[in-house]
Every structure is written in C-alpha cells, then in structure tokens.
Structure 1
Amino acid sequence: MNLKFKKPSKETQFAMSKVAAGEDNQDYFTLAEDKLASTTGHSYAKLVSSGNSAILCAMNSIDGAILIPDQGGWNGFKQMAKFLNKDLITVRTNHGLIDLDNLNESIISSSEDGIIDLNDENNKSALFLTSFAAYTAEQDIKAICDFAHKNNMLVVEDASGAIGDYEKRLANGNNSDVIIGSTGSPKIVNVEDGGFITTNDKTLFEKSNLLLKTNKASNITACGICNELDFAEKNLKKTIDACSYLKEKIEDETNFEVFHNDKRGINVIIKTEDPKSLSYRLRQEFVLDSHGMITKCPNYNRLKEKAVALEIKNLDISCLDYENLDSISNIIKRYD
C-alpha cells in the first residue's frame, strides 16, 4: 500500500513556481476571484491569506449574533467570535448535522433573551457551519438556508471541503449568503496556504475592507488558486467516492459503527470504546510523507464521541484506487 499526502497538481506547482521566480508577472487576483465567483455562483469574491482570515473577515461583517454547531464545525468559528466579542450561540446537532427543530429552539430562546432580533434587517445574525459536518456528512444546506432566511438570518458556509461540488448542493451561492474556505493543505483546492470569501452582498466586503487588505493573499497563492480550481470537481468526487466505498465496506465487513454511513463526506469516522489505543495503532499503519491521516475523537472539529476519523481527504487522489482502499479496510478489520 502506497499512500501519499495530498499536494497541488503538477500544473499548479509549475505555475506557482514561475510566479515565485519572477518569470510570470501577471496579476492573478482578478482571474482567481472571477473563477471563484463563477464556481460558487456568487457575484463577488475576495482572496485572503488563510481560512481563519476568511472566517475573521466574514464574521466581522455580521452585525448580529453568531450561531455555530455544537460539534463537527471548526474551532476558528469559536475563536473568531470570541476575538470579535460577538454573542455566540451553540446549536445542538445530530452528530454535527444541523437539525432544524434544534435550530428553531436556539433562535426562539435567543430571541426571548434579546440576543437575536428577528425583525431587524440591519442587525442580522448568522449561522456558521461547514459543508460537511465533521468532514463526514453532507449538511442539507438548501433546507438550512431556506429556514434561516425565513427567520431573518444569514448563512455562512465553510466550503473548504466542498468547493466544486458536482451535485451543486454545496458551495452554491443560490443557497448560502456567504461562502468561505481555506485553500491550505490538504484542502480540495490545495495550494498550501490562502483562503477565500464569496457573496452577492458587496456591503459585507465594505464592512471588512481593512481586514481584507491586511489579510490579502500573495500573487503566488492567487495563481495557485486560479489553476487548482480547475481540478476541484475531480478531487472532490474522487474523495467522496472513496469515502462512500470505505464506509460501506467497513460497515459490512467489521463490527465497527460508521457515523453517517449513508451521507456524502470526505472522511470516515468509526466509533470505538478505546480511541486512544486505536488511533495510536492506526498511526503506525498509515504513514504518508511524515503527515497524518488519523484524528482521535472526541474533537470539536470532528465529533464529540469516542471515535477515530480516517482523513481520506488528506490523501492524494492518485492513492484512492480500490487496491489501496481495500488495504485500508483490511487494516481496520484487523483491529475490530
């Protein structure tokens, strides 16, 4: 079994190296931002230096409270809300998946406490969530956005793991008000640093104009994003297909329970009573260029359960053939 950590495509590496060496002096910002806007279906896009910079700039533009899932999100949501001194509301989920009844409870309770004003168009609150809960389960973004909009709320979708969705259900500007993401390693658009924000509401950029300038990405990163977006759909589909195959195989051939085994995702999370031991053993088995592909839970960014996450998203898509996937499954079976 030969596993490799995900890297930018050779075409992207070559293009970025030419910019870094001064052999290509083209301004790639407009090209990359136009391509990002076209990919998400939003009218406006901005490049920033990292995914957390994207969260910071987006959250700074929100006047009301910030709602986040109780697990399966991203630590940066909590960190940036605290830094910006925002009211933070945690929504109970179904192992990371937003449940509309629980979301409604949070909205009503916060409205009664005066934290959320459902009638103030100039003081809208926003739900921040990731396209894939814990990277393992697709959120029903359209239903969530429809519900949020009826309650005078915005939705900010972190699409780091879903940009270029071939089903057009995720990272779709027809649903989410703001789409943010990281293009660091090992994301779907993988240039090893950088991030982005897209929206139809230009005033959101105006509110965070200084932050956007301060956190601007380099032209090398812009070149990388512009090129790597061409491979996003293929990277995402290959990774989702590999995870679906593994989820089914592990469920059928072992006694492990796979969380959200029927959902699209880019990692596989298995339940275990001894995550410390299992994660240690699997780290010895799966070694890829000094990088890892095992996450021990409980973990806010994954699930607050006794579990281990197989980060298939970390693997180069050239590794995601049936032979390697079967080998991964057989190793999991060994520790059943």
Structure 2
Amino acid sequence: MDLSFKKPSKNVRKAMCQASLDLGDREIETNHKRNAEDSLKELTRHEHARIVNSGNSAIMIAMSNIKGPVLLPDQGGWTGFKKIAEFLGLKIAYLPTNHGIIDLEILDDHIKLTNPQSLFITSFAGYMAEQPVKEIFELCDRRNVILVEDASGAIGDPQKSLACGDHAHIILASTGSPKIINLGNGGFISTNDPELFNYSNYLLKSFRTSPVMCAGMVEAIKNAPNSLSKILKACNFLKKKINPVLFEGYRGINITLPSENPKQMGRELRKRIPVEGGGIISTCPRYDRINQPAVCLEIKNLEIKCLKKDNLREISDITNKIISNYII
C-alpha cells in the first residue's frame, strides 16, 4: 500500500511557476487575478469573489461585517470561527446539534432565542456528514440571518447542493493543503452582496494574495469537481467495508470510528497506515470533528491517485482488525 499526503497538482504547480516568472508585469498580474475571480464566480454561482491569503482571513472579512451575535454549531464547525469571533469581540451563541448535524426545528427555535445576525457552518459537519445547506439557507433567509458556508471540503460539489451560491449568502474556503482546491495556502470569499467587499476594502488589501496564487487557483478549480467526487466515492466505499462507522448514510470526506480509547487506537492505525509526507489519522473529542471519543480517517488528505480500490480495501482490512479492540 503506497499512500501519500495531498499536495498541489502538477498542473497547478506549473501554472504557479510560470506566473512567478511574470512577476512585475502588471497587465499579466491583473489578468491572473481577474481570471481566478471569474473562475470562482462560475464555480460558486456568486456574482462577486475575492482571493485572499488564507481561509481564516476570509472568515475575518466575513465577520468584520457582522455586529450582532454569531451563531455557531456546538461541534463539527471550524475552530477559526470561535477564535476570530472572540478576537473581534463578537458575542457567540452555540447551536445544539446532532453530532454536528443541524436540525432545522432546533435551528429555528435557537434563532428566535438568541437573535443572531449570522450563522457560520461547514458544508460537511466535521468533514464527516453533509449538512442540509439548502434548507438551512431557506430558513436563515426567512429569519434575516446571514448564512456563511465554509466550503473548504465541498467546493466543486457535483450535486450542486454544497458550495453553491444559491444556498448561501457568503461562501468562503481555505485553499491550503490538503483542501479540495489545493494551492498549498490561500483562500477565497464570494457573495452576491457587493457591500460586503465595499465595507471590507482595507482588510481585502491587507489579506490579498499574490498573482502566483491566482494563477494556480485557475488550474486548481478545474480539478476540484473530479477530486471531490473521487474522495466522496472512496469514503462511501470504506463506509460499506468498515464496521462500525458513524454517519454511514451521509456524504462526507472522512471516516469516523467510535472508540473507547481513541489515542491508543489512533497510534496503532498510524503505525499500520503510514502516509508519506503527512498523515490521515485524527482523534476526538474535538470541536472541529465530534465531541465524543472517536478516530477519524481523513481520506481527504490523500492524493487522489492513492484512492484505488486495492488501497482502500487494505485500509479497511487493517482498520477492521484494529477497531474491534476499541468499540464503544
């Protein structure tokens, strides 16, 4: 079994290398930026898009426009949501969830209770399970709550359910490794509301990225739908082979395993499933996954070429042998 940690594709690196040779040519640099933003607008179906130097910068730009309480899921979100809201002095309210998955009735009740101005979610709760984003958006829109979707793990969704501007007021994402749009670093933010960028002009200038990253973005966007489809297919395959798993009936880009001793189980899995250049094992409880003892196989971290059925079968065989000793 030959597994390697995801890095920017050859086409992306080639485009970035060429763009680095063009540095200083303002016309070419402007074209790289324009082409990248146009590609993002087409992908997200939003009218406006900006490329920034990180996903957290995109979150800060979004939150800098928000004065009221910020509503966050009680688990399965992103730690940057909490940290940046605290940094900006914003009041945070936590939404009770079903292991990260949002229930619409509970959301509606909690909106009435906390009167938030915004809700920040990830497309997949903890990368584990798809959120009902369309339904969440429709509810938020009726209640005048701004829905911000962190689509780092879902950009290019072939079903157009996630990372789609029809279902989110704001979409943002990281484009660092090992995200779906993989540039090694960077991020973006998109919206149909031009005022978002007018109010955030200074931050956008402070967080702007290089034309080299913009050139890579154009190529990486081309890869995104195919990459996400293959990761989803691999996770679906593994969910059928490994027992027990959580969120068996949900789309997701990692595999979550209940465990009585996640740290020890994680150590054994790391030894048996080595990954060149990185790893795919994380342990819970943790806010950005699930608040219960568990081990996650972060399939999203692997190079797409590694997602062959022979490799996946071996991963499932190894996991099944180990997991029986740690089942809750």
Q: Do they fold alike, i.e. is TM over 0.5?
A: yes
What's the counterpart of residue 57 of structure 2?
53
CA contact under 8 A between 1:238 and 1:317: conserved in structure 2?
Answer: yes
TM-score (norm 2): 0.95
Query: Once the two structures are superposed, what CA deviation does each residue of 1:170-210 show, in whole Å capped at 9, x if it has no partner?
Result: 01101100000000000000010000000000101111111
Aligned equivalents of 1:19, 1:194: Cα separation in 2: 16
CA contact under 8 A between 2:69 and 2:114: conserved in structure 1?
Answer: no
Matches within 5 A, 1:135-214: 135-214=127-206
Matched, 1:106 2:119: no
Query: Once the two structures are superposed, what CA deviation does each residue of 1:37-89 show, in whole Å capped at 9, x if it has no partner?
Result: 11000000000000100100011112322111010110000011001111111
CA contact under 8 A between 1:89 and 1:106: conserved in structure 2?
Answer: no
What's the counterpart of residue 248 of structure 2?
261
Matches within 5 A, 1:173-322: 173-251=165-243, 256=244, 258-322=245-309
Query: Once the two structures are superposed, what CA deviation does each residue of 1:117-136 show, in whole Å capped at 9, x if it has no partner?
Result: xxxxxxxx110000000101
SS of corresponding position for 2:313:
helix
Aligned equivalents of 1:18, 1:288: Cα separation in 2: 30
Matched, 1:90 2:94: yes
Aligned equivalents of 2:224, 2:188: Cα separation in 1: 14
Shift of 1:24: 9.5
Q: Greater shift after overlay, 202-211 or 228-237? A: 202-211
Aligned equivalents of 1:23, 1:301: Cα separation in 2: 38
CA contact under 8 A between 1:61 and 1:205: conserved in structure 2?
Answer: no
TM-score (norm 1): 0.93
Percent identity between matched residues is 45
CA contact under 8 A between 2:71 and 2:119: conserved in structure 1?
Answer: yes
What's the counterpart of residue 127 of structure 1?
119
How many pairs does the alignment contain? Answer: 319
Amino acid at match of 1:178: I
CA contact under 8 A between 1:97 and 1:139: conserved in structure 2?
Answer: yes
In structure 2, the CA distance between the partners of 1:40 and 1:61, relative to structure 1 (3 Å rule), is same
Aligned equivalents of 2:123, 2:24: Cα separation in 1: 35
Q: 1:34 aligns with which of 28, 35, 38?
A: 38
What's the counterpart of residue 4 of structure 1?
4
Shift of 1:7: 1.5
In structure 2, the CA distance between the partners of 1:109 and 1:297, relative to structure 1 (3 Å rule), is same
What's the counterpart of residue 121 of structure 1?
none
In structure 2, the CA distance between the partners of 1:286 and 1:24, relative to structure 1 (3 Å rule), is farther
User: Which sections of structure 2, spanning at least 5 residues, go unmatched?
Assistant: none
SS of corresponding position for 1:80:
helix
SS of corresponding position for 2:165:
coil
Query: Once the two structures are superposed, what CA deviation does each residue of 1:260-288 show, in whole Å capped at 9, x if it has no partner?
Result: 11111110111011101100111112222
Query: Once the two structures are superposed, what CA deviation does each residue of 1:293-312 show, in whole Å capped at 9, x if it has no partner?
Result: 11110011100111000000
What's the counterpart of residue 76 of structure 1?
80
What's the counterpart of residue 119 of structure 1?
none
Aligned equivalents of 1:41, 1:22: Cα separation in 2: 30
Matched, 1:328 2:320: no
Query: Once the two structures are superposed, what CA deviation does each residue of 1:111-161 show, in whole Å capped at 9, x if it has no partner?
Result: 4xxxx4xxxxxxxx1100000001011111000001111111110000000
Amino acid at match of 2:12: T
SS of corresponding position for 1:282:
helix
Query: Once the two structures are superposed, what CA deviation does each residue of 1:18-50 show, in whole Å capped at 9, x if it has no partner?
Result: 222448952211100110011000000000000
Aligned equivalents of 2:162, 2:253: Cα separation in 1: 13
Give the superposed CA RMSD: 1.2
